[in-house]
Amino acid sequence: MPHTHWLLLDTETTGLKEPIYVVELAAQRMRGWEPEGPPFVRLLDHGVAIPPETARVNGNTREILERNGEPPLAVYDAFADYAGERPLVTYNLSYDLDQVLRPEWQRLGRAPIGRAGFCALRLAQRLLDPIPAGNCKLQTLRQYYRLPAHSAHTALGDVETVVDLLRQVLFPLAEARGLASWDAWRVYAAETWFPSRFAFGKYKGRPFLDARHDTALRAWLEWLAGSSNPRSAEMGRWYLERLAVDAGRESADAPTLVIATATGDSEGLVLYRDPERATLNRLIEAARTRLADLEAESAREHQAVAVIQSRLFSLLRPHYERRDRLRLAINYRRRYLDLLLVEGEEAAEALGSDYERARAETERDYAEAAAEASARRELSEADAHELKTLFRSLVRLYHPDRYTHDPERQAIHERLMQMINQAHDQGDIARLREIAHDPNAFLARQGLGGLDFADDADLTKLRQLYESLQVRLLATLEELAQLRESSDHELHRLSQERPELLETIAEQQAEAIRAEIVALEDEARRLAGEIEGLTDAPALGAE
Q: Give the residue among 53, 104, 37 at the shortest CA–CA distance from 76.
A: 104
Check whether 417 has a pLDDT greater than 60: yes
CB atoms within 10 A of CB 372: 14
Average pLDDT over residues 462-480: 75
State residue 247's pLDDT score: 62
- Cβ distance 459 to 281 under 8 Å? no
Check whether 264 has a pLDDT greater than 50: no
Check whether 28 has a pLDDT greater than 80: yes
Check whether 248 has a pLDDT greater than 60: no
Specify the higher pLDDT residue, 404 or 23. Answer: 23
Q: Give the residue among 22, 42, 157 at the shortest CA–CA distance from 91.
A: 157
Q: Do 181 and 201 belong together in one domain?
A: no
Banded model confidence at residue 63, pLDDT cuts 50, 70, 90: confident
* CA 331 – CA 154 distance, rounded (Å): 47
State residue 253's pLDDT score: 38
State residue 543's pLDDT score: 52
SS3 266: strand
Sequence-distant (6+) residues with CB within 8 A of 491 are 305, 308, 312, 501, 502, 505
Q: Which of 144, 167, 190 is the last residue of a domain?
A: 190
* CA 266 – CA 268 distance, rounded (Å): 7
Residue 342 within a domain = no
Q: How many domains are there within the chain? A: 3
Q: Do 49 and 149 belong together in one domain?
A: yes
Query: 125: domain CATH number?
Result: 3.30.420.10
Average pLDDT over residues 394-405: 69
Q: Do 74 and 210 belong together in one domain?
A: no
Residue 233 within a domain = yes
Average pLDDT over residues 505-528: 92
What are the tens digits of pLDDT across the range 226-243? Answer: 999 998 999 999 999 988
Name the pTM for this structure.
0.63
Residue 14 within a domain = yes
- Cβ distance 14 to 50 under 8 Å? yes
Q: Do 458 and 437 belong together in one domain?
A: yes
State residue 225's pLDDT score: 93
Q: Do 83 and 29 belong together in one domain?
A: yes
Q: Do 114 and 139 belong together in one domain?
A: yes
The C-alpha angle 125, 128, 132, rounded to 5 degrees, equals 110
Check whether 367 has a pLDDT greater than 80: yes
Beta pairing, strands 22-31 & 5-13: antiparallel
Q: Do 185 and 289 belong together in one domain?
A: no
Check whether 255 has a pLDDT greater than 50: no
| Four-CA torsion 79, 81, 82, 86, nearest 10 degrees | 100
Residue 343 within a domain = no
Residue 428 within a domain = yes
Q: Do 90 and 231 belong together in one domain?
A: no
* CA 480 – CA 146 distance, rounded (Å): 13
Q: Do 208 and 180 belong together in one domain?
A: no
Quote helix, strand, coil % in the chain, to nearest 5: 65, 10, 25
Q: Do 26 and 132 belong together in one domain?
A: yes
Domain coverage including residue 210: 197-254
- Cβ distance 164 to 147 under 8 Å? yes
* CA 53 – CA 125 distance, rounded (Å): 28
Check whether 134 has a pLDDT greater than 70: no
Beta bridge partners of 6: 30
* CA 297 – CA 476 distance, rounded (Å): 10
- Cβ distance 398 to 439 under 8 Å? yes
State residue 274's pLDDT score: 46
Residue 393 within a domain = yes
Residue 265 within a domain = no
Q: Do 157 and 201 belong together in one domain?
A: no
Check whether 511 has a pLDDT greater than 90: yes
Check whether 385 has a pLDDT greater than 80: no
Q: Do 171 and 297 belong together in one domain?
A: no
Exposed e or buried b per residue across 237-265, where buried means at least 16 C-beta atoms within 10 angstroms of its C-beta? bbbbebeeeeeeeeeeebbbbbbbbeeee
Residue 105 within a domain = yes
Specify the higher pLDDT residue, 134 or 176. Answer: 176
State residue 442's pLDDT score: 75
